Amino acid sequence: MKRMIRPLSLWMLLAATLLAWQSAAARGLPDFTELVEEAAPGVVNISTTRMVQSRNNPLQGFGGQELPEIFRHFFGDRFPMPPGMEQGPGRYQERQSLGSGFIISEDGYIMTNAHVVDGADEIVVRLNDRRELAAELVGSDERTDVALLKVEAESLPPLKLGNSDTLRVGEWVAAIGSPFGFDHSVTAGIVSAIERTLPRDAYVPFIQTDVAINPGNSGGPLFNLDGEVVGINSQIFTRSGGFMGLSFAIPINVAMDVADQLRDDGQVRRGWLGVMIQPVSRDLAESFGMDSPSGALIADLDPEGPAARGGLQAGDVILEVDGSRVHDSSTLPRLIGRTAPGSEVELELMRDGQRRQFTVTVGDWPDAERATASRPQESRQARLGISVGELERAEREQIGIEGGVRVLEVDPRGAAAAAGIRPGDILVSIDHRAITGASQLVELVSELPTDRAVPVRLYRAGRSLFVALRLAAD
């Protein structure tokens, strides 16, 4: 006699199966409880205070008009300023801000973001045990957004530091910080990308995560599953002002290099080549005889900089630095920036369709950024679809070139327009041949091929860059 499974037994079987599946799934997820218990004492809250001058004078009347002298006589002494702040048209007010940080040594060194303590007159660190300690700013580096603080204390619980170079995309990470002032809040996620370049941050290969980061998290640690700090939470991408799934952390290896220099020398030194670079597009890669677009194209260089002294030229494409591949133009500043000034580096580059090796002694990043100054100011070149004019000697000397022509008009249907050439551009070379004048340009263009793109070097708004020009068959 066949036995039938009763409906109740069937539901119990399904429930047991579901519970078993959930249990198996739960075992595959990370448990952050031990990590948080061990790491929380090393995470701190940072509050800053700075005095800012208000726009309105306390002795001003309605509409911003100065009060009559008689009122100043009666009320002037009732608005005392803090010592040393009596000058200026406005009164001073306290502005407070919050951030996070973490302990890196038992004797009181603490790391955070430079923007957390920027302009602070007073910095207070609140520990996990609720102690509040005044902190001294040892130093900060705006380029990497790293700051080092010091508090007078002993036997503090430093966090374990990991190796950010071993991080992999998809790896679980967690953050502890003070979003909106809520101390020791924990959030978790995964590494979304590594070596991410952000605008104006060419020296930091950011770690991108989907860990929930909000105002107040800045400066706090990013942990791997071993409880090691692998990054400092620094920025978010947002259109609302809050978390949108894109968070960026400074790799701890980069941050510690900066912190060590700040502690030992009081300043940060970076390697410098003295070059202006741009990305290599597919058409530019073809014009330089490369199989694929990669590397950093030198658009211009300081005539007295390390690269020029080492024999590099505008139009060279740097492919490797000491054996490390330069994937794109954003990679080069990081590789050179972390090289100690005075060190020699082996560069592999593409020049005239051939790979070549150069040895360059890296310089020290100048205090003020160097820039090539130029002020872009008739002959018609029908094949390119442009009208050009000669340059004055003073203009050439100012730019530092011997020839060149200024683009006056551009036919929107011509080859020059398709390459991105604009009115006001100064053409310096075409297909690696210097342009000495308008008449010579006609001769150069007549010899250009139509089966491939050729590089054109030009100056635009004070910057040198290359574009790829492709001519249509006659």
In contact, 147 and 100? CB cutoff 8 Å: no
The one catalytic residue among 47, 141, 145, 387: 145
> End-to-end CA distance of the chain, in Å?
92
Helices marked H in 29-68: 33-39
Catalytic residue list contains 100 = no
In contact, 396 and 402? CB cutoff 8 Å: yes
17 Cβ contact list (under 8 Å, min separation 6)? none
Helices marked H in 4-51: 7-28, 33-39
233 Cβ contact list (under 8 Å, min separation 6)? 100, 175, 177, 211, 213, 217, 218, 219, 220, 221, 222, 247, 248, 249
Which residues are 132's β-sheet partners?
Answer: 126
Distance between CA atoms of 273 and 212, rounded to whole angstroms?
38
Query: Which value, in Å, is the radius of gyration of the alpha carbons in the chain?
Result: 30
From the number of C-beta atoms within 10 Å of its C-beta (0-12, 13-18, 19+), residue 418 rates as: middle
The one catalytic residue among 100, 140, 185, 218: 218
In contact, 174 and 187? CB cutoff 8 Å: yes
In contact, 403 and 437? CB cutoff 8 Å: yes
In contact, 230 and 194? CB cutoff 8 Å: no
Instruction: State the amino acid at position 178 in one-letter form.
Output: S
* Element containing residue 335 per DSSP (H, E): helix 331-337
- Residue located via tokens 């020791």: 184
Catalytic residue list contains 115 = yes
For 464, the 3-state DSSP assignment is strand
| Pair of tokens at residue 208 | 């991108």
In contact, 224 and 167? CB cutoff 8 Å: yes
Determine phi and psi for 422, rounding to 5 degrees: -125, 160
From the number of C-beta atoms within 10 Å of its C-beta (0-12, 13-18, 19+), residue 309 rates as: middle
Instruction: State the amino acid at position 86 in one-letter form.
Output: E
45 closest CA partner among 121, 119, 96, 105: 96
| Pair of tokens at residue 410 | 């551009």
Distance between CA atoms of 235 and 114, rounded to whole angstroms?
12
Active-site residue set: 115, 145, 218
